[in-house]
């Protein structure tokens, strides 16, 4: 289950049968029977000599808006090529599998995992009928996660405090039982900050993802039921910093932008699963279709900060 202040964790995508889709576009799956009564599927309608219009049914298909990686299937003669289109300004890992299948096989064999480069498209599989004289159909599922699982983060890097401050107040440190008790957020730190406090990049990197249109702050009764505005910054070593619970319309950078350490990137807020205004800061790495928080060292004018909690 996606967690409330962590809308960036995992995105699942299901594709119906042999549906094809370019990023952000609706497409159609055509189904028809030939003169021998065999059912066919394709991303283009059949020729009139193959099937009459009344024998062709159309199944609409659309990739969900905001998908980080979109599934695309293209007909290539007797086979179907499965593509993953990465919309992120950073690498993403995908896992492709059959939800169901009948009389088809995939090369490579499913399930499979692949890493898709930033803003790139990659053919991840090819699907063919096992018996070309019999009907076949299938349903695909594609999960995607930001980051490259082969990355090796520098655990000794010195992060700066992500705001200008007279004093630092920590509401929840690493391992906090309220919301820092899972792998994705174990080493996270919640800094208590008034709404509208300028947020600065703790480390240089490329803005990989942003979410900025959740207007209302809310403490959801379900522990992880809300959504939070956030910025994800990809660092040169493959690690990723997340700045979350930002003010509505408080993101001040754009995806793909290169930011420097200490550069202003947004405004603190109280969106999503939050008991009060604060900045949720965490450094994460992709550990193979699983985001994991990693420990980090943070410094201010008085030296290194020591956070309560943690291992």
- pLDDT tens for 183-213 read 898 999 999 999 999 999 999 999 999 987 6
Please give the order of strands across the beta sheet that includes 57-62. 39-42, 26-33, 57-62
Q: What are phi and psi of 115, to 5 degrees?
A: -105, 125
What pLDDT sits at residue 205? Answer: 98
**Global pTM exceeds 0.85:** no
Is the pLDDT score of 223 beyond 50?
no
Residue 311's pLDDT band, with cuts at 50, 70 and 90, is: very low
158-300: CATH class = mainly beta
Please answer whether residues 41 and 54 qualify as being in contact, where contact means their C-beta atoms are separated by less than 8 angstroms.
Answer: no
pLDDT: which is higher, 70 or 176 = 70
What pLDDT sits at residue 148? Answer: 98
CATH number listed for the domain at residues 11-146: 2.60.40
DSSP structural state of residue 64: P
Burial classification of residue 99, based on how many CB atoms lie within 10 Å of its CB (0-12 exposed, 13-18 middle, 19 or more buried): exposed
Indicate where the chain has its CATH 2.70.70.10 domain(s): 158-300
Most confidently modeled range among 98-102, 126-130, 145-149, 303-307: 145-149
Residue 243's beta-bridge partner residues?
A: 231, 281
What pLDDT sits at residue 193? Answer: 92
Integer Rg of the chain from CA:
23
What is the rounded average pLDDT for all residues in the chain? 79
Cβ neighbours, 10 Å, residue 59: 14
Please answer whether residues 98 and 112 qualify as being in contact, where contact means their C-beta atoms are separated by less than 8 angstroms.
Answer: no
Indicate where the chain has its CATH 2.60.40 domain(s): 11-146
């Amino acid at each position: 289950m996606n967690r409330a202040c962590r809308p960036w964790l995992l995105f699942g995508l299901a594709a119906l049968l042999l549906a094809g889709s370019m990023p952000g576009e609706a497409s159609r799956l055509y189904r028809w029977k030939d003169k021998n009564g065999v059912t066919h599927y394709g991303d283009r309608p059949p020729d009139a000599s193959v099937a009459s219009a009344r024998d062709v049914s159309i199944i609409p298909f659309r990739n969900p808006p905001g998908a980080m990686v979109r599934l695309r299937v293209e007909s290539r003669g007797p086979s179907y090529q499965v593509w993953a289109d990465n919309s992120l300004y950073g690498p993403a890992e995908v896992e492709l599998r059959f939800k169901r299948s009948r009389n088809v096989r995939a090369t490579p064999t499913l399930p499979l995992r692949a890493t898709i480069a930033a803003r790139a498209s990659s053919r991840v599989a090819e699907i063919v009928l096992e018996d070309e004289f019999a009907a076949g159909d299938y349903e695909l599922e594609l999960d995607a996660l930001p980051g490259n699982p082969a990355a090796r983060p520098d655990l000794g890097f010195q992060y700066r405090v992500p705001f200008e401050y007279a004093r630092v107040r920590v509401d929840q440190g690493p391992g906090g039982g309220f919301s820092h008790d899972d792998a994705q957020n174990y080493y996270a730190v919640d800094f208590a900050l008034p709404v509208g406090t300028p947020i600065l990049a703790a480390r240089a990197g490329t803005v990989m993802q942003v979410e900025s249109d959740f207007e209302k702050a809310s403490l959801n009764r379900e522990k992880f039921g809300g959504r939070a505005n956030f910025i994800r910054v990809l660092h040169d070593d493959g690690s990723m910093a997340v700045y979350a619970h930002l003010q509505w319309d408080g993101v001040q950078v754009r995806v793909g932008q290169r930011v420097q350490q200490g550069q202003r990137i947004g405004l603190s807020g109280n969106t999503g699963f939050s008991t009060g205004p604060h900045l949720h800061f965490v450094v994460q790495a992709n550990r193979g279709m699983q985001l994991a928080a990693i420990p980090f060292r943070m410094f201010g004018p008085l030296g290194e900060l020591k956070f309560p909690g943690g291992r």
